[in-house]
Structure 1
Amino acid sequence: MAKVFYAHSGTPNDKHDWQGLKEHLLAVAKLAAEMARPLGLEKAAYLAGLFHDLGKYTADFQRRIEGAAIPVDHSTAGALLVLGDIISKQDWPMGEVIAYCIAGHHAGLPDRRNETPACLDRRVEAKLPTLDPIWKQELVYDAQNLMPEFARSIPPKTAHFELSLMGRMIFSCLVDADFKDTEAFYTALEGREADRNWQSLQTLLPDFLARFDAHMHEKSKGDSSLNRLRADILSHVRGKALEQPGLFTLTVPTGGGKTLASLGFALDHAKAHGHRRIIYAIPFTSITDQTAAIFSDLLGADHILEHHSAIDQEKFDPKMRSESRDKLKLAMEDWAAPVVVTTNVQLFESLFAAKTSRARKLHNIAGSVIILDEAQTIPRPLLKACMRMLDALARCYGCTIVLCTATQPALDQDRLEGGLPLKGRELAPDPHDLAQRLRRARIVHLGDRDNAALINALTEEPQALVIVNSRKHALELFREAQQAGLEGLVHLTTRQCAAHRKTTLADVRDRLKAGRPCRVIATSLIEAGVDVDFPKVWRAEAGLDQIVQAAGRCNREGKWDVEESVVSVFSARDYPPPSELHKLASDMKRVLGKHEDLLSLAAIEDYFGEVYWRMGDKLDAKGILGQFTVTRSGTDFAYRTVAEKFQMIESGMTPVIIPLDAIAQKAVDELEVEGIFSGTLARKLQTYVVQVPPKARDILIRNGHVDFARADLRGDQFAVLKTASLYHADVGLMWDDGEYLAAEQSIF
């Protein structure tokens, strides 16, 4: 009787309910191929799935699964196999790509070579346990013709990067299939069921479109010139839905209804071309709730996945029951939902990720309509890498991508080396004319203004917004304004957690609507897409794109005369901006001499031209594109190095959880419960996080103000504020006071 090899254990000392290895490998191979079929990569994904756990055909691994405490590398054997002679000569690049995927299906995509034992070259050179030859009888494979059809049309200039992207897509299919088959085995074993079923976008589109049309019909009843213009914009944008999938721009000034226009286009375009989902990516978590709420009201909350995270949810719990159970530590969502509202950080860092938990969603990004809201906020040091990725998704993976903004960042290949083919792909009707027709404010330059001058100006305006460049400036200006006795003062910065800012913004909108005093002092977080409307705005010097975004908070609904709606730009000598922001302000000043109206599209185009010319090679400052090369000796893909380098927000900050209300406190209490996954609690707590400097958090921890909840179970993932008085209702977390006793601790 042939020996039976197992992939996953069940009842100890009784193997009747254990999962056979052949069964697992075939199931993963078939599921991975099914996921990869829309991508044209099904043969490669099948092979990756078939061999991913080949190293379990060893006596050592079978002893381990029976309970022996011995380390076993079971991920490298399959990688070594596909680097060998089973792959045809014409398919050797794909064989190497599959090897990265198999080797990384637990620990994440590796580099080909680096200084650590974890790189692919060192792993395949290491001594591995001997495979039982029975695998050759149990696994039938076809390792020929692995390259996809679309590979023939890839431009030579981008071929190396796009081969590495094929690896990412295969890896995504592999790890998602592996997670899901393992999950299915254990949920069946434990008599439970994991609900992972989402209705498809194509099934839901008739209802989505009916609901959208009904909503827009209701909105059109207001007979104002602005409503008529918004309706015209929407009609024109939706009229472009039949155009060929690919890259588009949507250039609509603030107030023109670009969020709903882009959604209308996405629904119509998906219907016309069979897209699988709609992904709406937003630059800031401060407005994801706002957009997700709009989409939920329109399309139904049950069909919307909102995914953003202020906590590193990819950290696994350090206390695991077994290697097999570890696989049940599933990643966040796999983005199988028909509509996903997320952040640029989550989208792009997933596309360049090495970790299984983040990369797992990539195959579901393929075939999507992706709306990039506020496209100008893509970090410039990563711009060329992001453009290369967007171009590849559009050309090779059936994506339609809409760069949606009031300040289009001039990414056309005719204007920027390595740019995108955007000529003739604008969705809006005559953006230059729209900029004039939707102009709601004018920009003036004041020169230097100190806090006293700003407070004097605020004294004359019962409703006004001041935006500055740092938390320090915002806090000190707010405190001085309090001392001056100004009414209706509101402070808004990232010292407050997102849940706090949400309620604060709701109060601001109520004050504005009721005509009550409302003087908001904020950092730039209020600029991009936050729906507030002030008659007057002051903005500390910054880049022109930020000035224009600030102008979008002034007379947003056209209630006041344009000439009286002033955005006053000032320099703050006492609070010098960071180096790059200072350079952007200088770029803006160079444009100032050429354009009378800084809100015109011509001024914005010139501004971005100045910025990109100045930055040059620094648009790929991390050297991301040079990390993927192919030579005669093989591929050299630095997946893990790139994932570490590709950080869209390099704040160097660390999270502190604020038990602000009953919801947050309940989730904090649940951190004590071993049976609740960390990822589940992280999602509940993500809007209750304040990011603080690492040294400041260390001081808070040292002085007993912050503590890691259940460090024995959760590690250092959940740092929770213990001293409630350090979090103030008006300004948020005062981590600067961490070395001092809190009020309640000073009472003996």
Structure 2
Amino acid sequence: MYYAHSTEQADRSDWHVLQDHLTKAAALAGTFAERFGSSKAATLAGLLHDLGKYNPDFARRLEGAPIRVDHSTAGAAIVRDMAKGDDGLIAELIAYGIAGHHAGLPDRLGDVASLESRIAGFDHQTLDPIWRTEIYPDATGLLPSFDWQKDRLAFQLSLLGRMIFSCLVDADFKDTEKYYASIGDLTVDRDWPFLQEALPRLIAGFDRHMQSFGRQESGINRLRSEILDHVRAKAGDKPGLFTLTVPTGGGKTLASLGFALDHARRHGHRRIIYAIPYTAIIDQTARIFQSLLGEDIVLEHHSAIEMETLDAARPPEGKGKLRLAMEDWSAPVVVTTNVQLFESLYAARPARVRKLHNIAGSIIILDEAQTLPRPLLTPVTWMLEALARDYGCTIVLCTATQPALDKARFPAGHPTGLDLQSRELAPDPARLAAALKRVTLRHGGAMTDDDLIADLAGTAQGLVIVNSRKHALALFRAAWAAGLDGAMHLTTRLYPAHRRDVLDRIKQSLANEAPCRLIATSLVEAGVDLDFPRVWRAEAGLDQIAQAAGRCNREGKRPPAESLVTVFSAPVNPPPREIAALSRDMARMMDKHEDLFSPQAMADFFGEVYWRVGADGLDAKKILPDFRIGSGMTNFAYRSVAEKFRMIDSTMVPVIIARDELAREAVKRLAIKEIPSGKLARQLQPYTVQIPSKARARLQSCGHVSFIAEKFRADQFAVLQTASLYDPEVGLLWEDAEYLGMEDTII
């Protein structure tokens, strides 16, 4: 008898029978793929994924022999031989997935780790023929009935391959987890309720919450009620792509949630995924949703805690693999980031791709859609279109500054646009923009830090937004040195739980009319609910200027003429090259519009940007050409694409800051092998700061950061050891990693 996993029991009485694992994983994978019509393909992947364990050498390895056995290539080689015709293309997709179910999806061609090289080196004689009497794979009828697009066939197939891979990986994880839990070697992570079963109480709770505000007949609240009613009335519209264009302060977050709940009830969607550009506001949104819907409904997942290095020759197996497993997004409502969503959709690693099949049949709300990175915009829009067309998703592009992605705005044949005609959810965006105009925009010209400090000194409450963490830190220190009362600092140097506390202090100061001078980066522009009487914004694109203006006179309680948004240049701290280019794009179209914050002005601005960048610049990393079909065969560079598709150019990695008791206790639990890493990562994600990978490496080499429980959790959990490097006012200071923390230099 052959086994999939073993224990210390010499009599093998509790070993995991291979036939049992393959058939159960296959059934589970097939169930996961039902939503997109690929059950047969996913079932076949599940049946063959561990076929290489029918190798007698693998059996000896389980018994303790010090030998290495590649058990992931056998199924990939066999499945390609089994299928013919159109089924052959799908069999190739399955082969990528089987070959990569431990180390990650490979490229078709390339080095020794490529799919072609591995299959070419596979020896069929290593398999015991008994496998044919224990499992019965069917390689017919594999092609799903998609609306196949001739010009996007390769892309559609590449995404299908990743989705089948997701079903396989999650099924393999879950069946293996169930086995180890049954023998007491592992605790199972939480189970979530189904959205459709919970919807009646969720909608009832949402209605009660909205009714508690009453129906005021004047001002902003009347407009918010009108927007909510109009948006919810559109919930019966056909699923697909939508826009929701609501000025800042118009209540679009709750309106989009109300639409999603009603739309899911009408059309049977399985979950709601709310994607946000920055981790800075994910806490705020998650807290709102959890208070409305319940903590048992909402998963907050933004952490990049995962294994950074992976030895393809010795990928983790069994319990080791399970301890590295991350979220599967089976929650009814997921609040995440654009980075987590889109980098997962283009990922190759099992831990990241595992959740993708749960995106099928979801409502995806992209909050602050204007922040989608332009160098990746075409791969992003192709992905959104495919999810809507082939995977039953509804996509809502939700923002005050709509990025003009309607294909009617692009030249004929341009690859980037989406079909968004007549798909606006809000009532008359132009009228709403005029009705919710609450600020006066002025240009301050060049301003030094001393000029900004002097302006801040002249107002009790003011917000300055700059383009870098470095400038924000320098300006905050200048404000502190000048003795400005109520000076505060808010950037991604602070871990999320700390940012939440700072935001609460800011809101309390604003409400009490106490001094509050906030210096921040652009993280405050995307949905952070702040209301300052004055705002200064370093030069940027029109969309960012408009978002900054949304933090000024947000509730409309002050005259617009007195609510000034000053745009300035900072000669000593010039903007990054891309932001400088966006500022020039804005300058070219400024004279065309009386109101620069109108929807038409915003559309013209993005038109300027797309014209400047050109079609090639919207797929600057050449993602789409890496998926090709020729001579009836696929040539997909999954691994290479995953390495290139980065929404943030510099590789950012997490450092855990265990300053409070909850974080310290979670760090201690890392030493308990039986607790899944995904559960601990969920607890620790509010305590992480993302920093450049090179900076973390320096911190580690100097002894300021250590990987905890590295023996069985690998390099997933990097924890700050030098507490003084985390300043309670400004956050993590990593730039001088070669030097000891300040308190450690005192003799």
TM-score, reference length from structure 2: 0.95
The answer to whether residue 108 in structure 2 is matched with residue 118 in structure 1 is no
Task: Quote the Cα distance in structure 2 between the aligned partners of 1:80 and 1:317.
Answer: 22
Q: 1:321 and 1:107, CA in 2 relative to 1: closer, same or farther beyond 3 A?
A: closer
| One-letter code aligned to 1:732 | G
CA contact (8 A) 2:401 2:546 kept: yes
Does 2:284 match 1:287?
no
Give deviations 1:476-514, integer Å, cap 9, x for gaps: 222222222221111112222222211111100000000
Q: Are residues 1:57 and 2:51 paired?
A: no
Shift of 1:600: 0.9
- Number of the residue aligned with 2:253: 259
What SS class does the counterpart of residue 248 from structure 1 fall into? strand
Q: Contact 1:314 / 1:331 at 8 angstroms: preserved in 2?
A: no
Provide the residue aligned with 1:638 in structure 2: 637
Which deviations, in whole Å up to 9, do the C-alpha atoms of 1:122-149 show, x marking residues without a partner?
Answer: 0001143521111222222322221112
Question: Alignment partner of 1:16: what SS?
Answer: coil
Equivalent residue pairs, number: 740
Query: Structure 1 residues 321 and 313, CA, compared in 2 at 3 Å: closer, same or farther?
Result: closer
Cα contact 2:283–2:496 (8 A) shared by 1: no
Among 382, 389, 394, the alignment partner of 2:388 is: 394
Percent same amino acid among aligned pairs?
60
Aligned position for 1:26 = 23
Q: Whole-Å Cα distance in 1 between the matches of residues 191 and 722 of structure 2?
A: 42
Q: 1:105 aligns with which of 98, 101, 104?
A: 101
- 1:316 to partner: Cα distance: 7.7
Is 1:171 matched with 2:165?
A: yes
Per the TM alignment, residue 35 of structure 1 is displaced from its structure 2 partner at its CA by 1.2
Counting only pairs closer than 5 Å after superposition, residues 608-619 of structure 1 correspond to structure 2 as 608-616=606-614, 617-619=616-618
Which residue number in structure 2 is paired with residue 13 of structure 1? 10
Q: Could you tell me how far apart the structure 2 residues matched to 1:83 and 1:391 are? A: 29
Q: 1:242, CA displacement in angstroms? A: 0.7
Tell me which residue corresponds to 2:665. Answer: 666
Tell me the residue number matched to 2:587: 589
Q: Give the structure 2 partner of residue 363 of structure 1.
A: 357
SS at structure 1 position matched to 2:592: coil
For 1:48-85, what per-residue CA distance to the aligned partner results, in whole angstroms no more than 9, with x for missing partners? 1111111111211111122211111111111111211x
Of the three residues 88, 94, 115, the one matched with 1:92 is 88
Indicate conservation of the 8 Å contact 1:488/1:519, yes or no: yes
For the residues of structure 2 that align with 1:89 and 1:696, how far apart are their CA atoms?
Answer: 51
182-191 or 487-496, larger mean C-alpha shift: 182-191
2:127 aligns to what SS in structure 1? coil
Amino acid in the other structure paired with 2:549: A
Matched, 1:213 2:207: yes
Number of the residue aligned with 1:405: 399
Q: Distance in 1 between matches of 2:101 and 2:164?
A: 11
- Residues 189 and 679, structure 2, Cα contact 8 Å, conserved in 1: no
Looking at structure 2, the residues matched to 591 and 465 of structure 1 have their Cα atoms a distance apart, in angstroms, of 26
Contact 1:407–1:545 (CA under 8 A) maintained in structure 2: yes
Change over 3 Å in CA distance of 1:302–1:658 after alignment to 2: same
* Mapped contact 1:220–1:227 kept (Cα < 8 A): no
| Equivalent position amino acid for 1:89 in 2 | G
Whole-Å separation in 2 of the counterparts to 1:654 and 1:355:
16
* Equivalent residue, structure 2, for 1:352: 346
1:397 to 1:700, Cα distance in 2 relative to 1, 3 A? closer
Residue by residue, what CA displacement relative to the aligned partner does 1:704-744 show, whole Å, maximum 9, x if unpaired? 44444455554444443333233222222233444445443
1:385 is the counterpart of 2:404:
no
1:140 aligns with 2:136: yes
* Structure-2 separation of matches of 1:634 and 1:30: 28
Q: Deviation of residue 662 (structure 1)?
A: 1.9
Distance of 1:364 and 1:162 partners within structure 2: 18
Task: Indicate if the aligned counterparts of 2:5 and 2:16 stay in contact, CA closer than 8 A.
Answer: yes
Is 1:563 aligned to residue 557 of structure 2? no
How far, CA to CA, are the matches of 1:71 and 1:538 in structure 2?
Answer: 61
CA contact (8 A) 2:655 2:718 kept: yes
Q: Tell me the secondary structure at the aligned position of residue 620 of structure 1.
A: coil
2:292 aligned partner: 298
- Report the CA distance between 1:207 and its aligned residue: 0.5
| Cα RMSD, aligned residues only | 2.1
CA contact (8 A) 2:323 2:673 kept: no
SS in 1 for 2:126: coil
Structure-2 residue corresponding to 1:686: 685
2:244 is aligned, of 213, 235, 250, to 250
Displacement after TM superposition at 1:686 (Å): 2.2
Tell me how far 1:243 sits from its aligned partner.
0.8
Q: Structure 1 residues 653, 41: CA separation in 2 closer, same or farther (over 3 Å shift)?
A: closer
Secondary structure at 2:639 match in 1: helix
Does the C-alpha gap of structure 1 residues 552 and 118 become closer, same or farther in structure 2, counting only changes over 3 Å?
same
Aligned pair partner of 1:80 in 58, 65, 77: 77
Distance in 2, Cα, partners of 1:195 & 1:678: 9
For residue 302 of structure 1, give the secondary structure of its aligned residue in structure 2. Answer: coil
Superimposed CA distance per residue, residues 497-544 of structure 1 (whole angstroms, 9 cap, x where no aligned partner): 222211111100000000001011111111111111001100000011
8 Å contact kept, 1:220–1:231: no
Alignment counterpart, residue 157 of structure 1, candidates 140, 144, 151: 151
Task: Measure, in 1, the Cα distance between the counterparts of 2:578 and 2:4.
Answer: 53
Instruction: Output one character per residue of 1:541-566: Cα deviation in whole Å (capped at 9) or x when no partner.
Output: 00111101100100001110111111
Match of 1:606 among 604, 607, 610: 604
C-alpha spacing 1:711/1:361, structure 2 compared with 1 (3 Å): closer
Local SS of the residue matching 2:75: helix
Residue 308 of structure 1 aligns with an amino acid whose one-letter code is: H
The residue aligned with 2:447 is 449
**1:618–1:269 CA distance, 2 compared to 1 (3 A):** same
Letter in 2 for 1:581: I
How far off is 1:313 after superposition? 5.1
Distance (Å, rounded) in 1 between the aligned partners of 2:149 and 2:737: 56
Which is further off, 124-133 or 593-602? 124-133
Q: How does 1:509-520 map to 2 (within 5 A)?
A: 509-520=507-518
Check the 8 A contact 1:182/1:327 in 2, yes or no.
no
Whether the aligned pair in 1 keeps the contact of 2:74 and 2:122 (CA below 8 Å) is no
CA distance in 1 between partners of 2:165 and 2:323 (Å):
18
CA contact (8 A) 2:323 2:713 kept: no
- Retained in 2: the 8 A contact 1:32–1:46? yes
In 2, distance between residues paired with 1:344 and 1:584?
21
Correspondence for 2:722: 723
CA distance in 2, matches of 1:499, 1:361: 25
Report what 1:308 is aligned to. 302
Is the CA contact (8 Å cut-off) linking 2:534 and 2:565 kept in structure 1?
yes
Q: Which moved more, 1:219-228 or 1:68-77?
A: 219-228
Task: Map Cα deviations across residues 138-188 of structure 1 (whole Å, 9 max, x no partner).
Answer: 2223222211122xx222011110011111111111111111111111111
Q: 1:342 to 1:322 in 2, by over 3 A?
A: closer
Residue 701 of structure 1 and its aligned partner are, at CA, apart by: 4.1
The AA in structure 2 aligned to 1:691 is: Q
Inter-partner Cα distance in structure 2 for 1:27 and 1:349: 30
Flag the 1:711–1:329 CA change in 2: closer, same or farther, 3 A.
closer
- Deviation, 1:107, is 1.2
> C-alpha distance in 2, partners of 1:353/1:490?
38
- 1:321 to partner: Cα distance: 13
Match of 1:271 in 2: 265
Instruction: Give the Å deviation of 1:342.
Output: 0.8
Unaligned segments of structure 1, at least 5 residues: none
Rounded to whole Å, the distance in 2 between the matches of 1:322 and 1:566 is 57
The 3 A distance-change label for structure 1 pair 29 and 671 is: closer
Taking a change above 3 Å as real, the CA distance of residues 112 and 742 of structure 1, as seen in their structure-2 partners, is closer
Contact 2:187 2:675 in 1 (8 A): no
Distance verdict in 2 for CA 1:373–1:743, change over 3 Å: closer
